[in-house]
Each structure stands twice: as structure tokens, then as C-alpha cells.
Amino acid sequence: MAYALEDEFGDIIGKARRGHDLSLGQVASSAGITEAQLSQMESYALKPTGAQVHKIAGILNLNGAKLADIAMERWAPEPVTPGYDDALEVVTITALVGGWPVHAYLLVCKATNEAAIIDTAAHPDTVLQKVEETGVNPTIILLTHAHSDHANGLPEIERATGCPTYIHANEPKPQSTQQLRTLKHGDEVAVGKLSVKTLDTPGHTPGGCSFHTRSTVIVGDAIFAGSVGGAKISYTDLLSTVQNYLLSLPDDVKLFPGHGPATTVGEEKTHNPFF
Ligand SMILES: [Fe+2]
């Protein structure tokens, strides 16, 4: 079976190695393997032994047991099924960008049928088609971050829906038809009767953020099932804000990432090797 995670062993150790600013050679020599072997492991051309997984985990400050479960394909999160909350619905919109699946979401208030469009998946047509199919009334656009696979096509969605767009104050601003409204940690916006709170989760980008309401968080590329987004801006900030603002939520809180399967706080606390 195809393993369902966005990131597996190779991506995880690559992200952690770059996060610690270590070269292939530095990690390989500490692990007692060659640089070529480590490079092959990061690109999935070479499967590590159990002992090598634990050795590399120790060097990269990852949890060895959790990393081994992923390396040996022993864990994937329990599927998050719709209908878990009477007050809201999360509609996942998946599109391929450069051959890789990206998710945008509709966060729907069941009481009013009003919805937030969260990210664009760079496919405004697909997002607008889902709005039409579901019959929801979009009132607001929220962006987790400005990377092109999450924010391209924003002008088309703005023109079709007339919605205002919100993005974190620290995030670079994508192309838009309007003066973007900015958010900071703790700010709340209304989606029907839902109050959606902004949580700072920077590190993948300068102003990456997550959107939390009730037992649902749309997390963008801050955390993936069993992994994290690439920490191009700050590995320390990414891990600390995910730990403090996401993994501090109750275990049953559902996390919907920009890539890969949805997961829960409990699953990530138990299985994510970065924490
Ligand atoms: Fe991203």
C-alpha cells in the first residue's frame, strides 16, 4: 500500500538536519555511515536499519521510537471523519501543484451555512466549484501563509466571491485585488456563529499562522501528520509555536494541514518525532 503520510523518514531527517544547520557529512560521520548513504536515505534510495534510525534520531534531536514507527511504516493517523462537530463542517479541497497534492479548506458554520475559504490550493476554479457544489455562502478568505501553492489564484476567488481576505501581519503579501486585512496572534474573526482565532505558527514562513475554532485547527504548513513544514525561516520558532499553541490543545482537537492527511493533537503528541 502507498504509505499515506506527507513526509516519511527521508523528509523528516532532511528537515531536522537542515533545521539544526548540519551538513550531510556532519550527520553521517556522527552516525557512522557515509555521506552518500545518508543522502540516499534522505531521498528514499536506501532504507535505514532500526539501529541507524535511532542513531540518526539522537543526532537530530528527534524521538527515536516515533521516528522508527514512521521509518518502518507502522503508524498513520486514524482518519478524521466528517461530522465530528455539530456546529461546523470542514470541507477539504485537494488539487495538484507541480504533481503534489495541496489542500485548501472550507470551514462551514452549520447554523448559518456561512463559510471561510482557507487557502487557494493554487486552483481557484476548483475552490469555486466546491463552493458551488456544497451550496455554502463564503463570507471571508483566510490565508495560512503566502506560498504560491496556498495563495495563487487569490484574485479570482476574491472577484468571484467579493470576500475580504485576511493574512498574518508578518507574512509577505500575495497578489490580491484588495488591501489585505491583517491578523496577529489571538485575533478572532467571525464565520457565521463560529469565532475563529488566529494562532501564530511561524517558521515555515515569517507570518505562517493557524486558524482555530472549537475542536478544529487549520494549520497550513506548520505541522503535518508525523512531521512539520520545512523550516526555511526558523526551526526553533516553528517547533516552539507548534508545541505551545497547537500541541497544548486537547488531544481530540483535529488538525488539518496544507499537505497530507488530517490528524489530531493526541496522535501528534504520541507519534510526531519532532516533539
Ligand atoms: Fe508552504
Where in the chain are the domains? 9-71, 88-271
Encode pLDDT of 15-39 as tens digits.
999 999 999 999 999 999 999 999 9
Check: CB of residue 208 under 8 Å from CB of residue 201: yes
Ligand 1 center from residue 30 Cα (angstroms): 31
CA-CA distance, 247 to 261, in Å (whole number)? Answer: 17
Q: Do 9-71 and 88-271 have matching folds?
A: no
Task: Tell me, in angstroms, the distance from the centre of ligand 1 to residue 222's CA.
Answer: 8
Ligand 1 center to residue 157 CA distance, Å? 19
Q: For CA atoms 99, 145, 163, 176, give the dihedral sign.
A: negative
Low-confidence residues of the chain, pLDDT below 70?
1-3
**pLDDT tens digit sequence for 103-142:** 999 999 999 999 999 999 999 999 999 999 999 999 999 9
Indicate the pairing of strand 254-257 with strand 263-264.
Answer: antiparallel
Q: According to the model, what pLDDT value does residue 4 have?
A: 81
Q: How many angstroms separate the alpha carbon of residue 223 from the centre of ligand 1?
A: 11
| Long-range contacts from 177-185, C-beta under 8 angstroms, 24+ separation | 183/209, 185/209, 185/245
Cα-to-centroid distance, 201 and ligand 1 (Å) = 12
51 C-alpha to center of ligand 1: Å? Answer: 32
State the distance from the centre of ligand 1 to the C-alpha of 270, rounded, in angstroms: 24
Output the CA angle 101-105-109, nearest 5 degrees. 165
What is the homologous superfamily of the domain 9-71 according to CATH? lambda repressor-like DNA-binding domains (1.10.260.40)
Instruction: For residue 155, give Cα distances in angstroms to 152, 179, 237.
Output: 8, 12, 30
Fold classification of 88-271 (topology level): Metallo-beta-lactamase; Chain A (3.60.15)
* pTM exceeding 0.75: yes
Ligand 1 centre from 232 Cα, in Å?
10
* Side-chain half-sphere CA neighbours of 37 within 13 A: 15
Neighbours of 104 (CB within 10 A): 30
Q: Ligand 1 mean position to 258 CA, how many Å?
A: 8
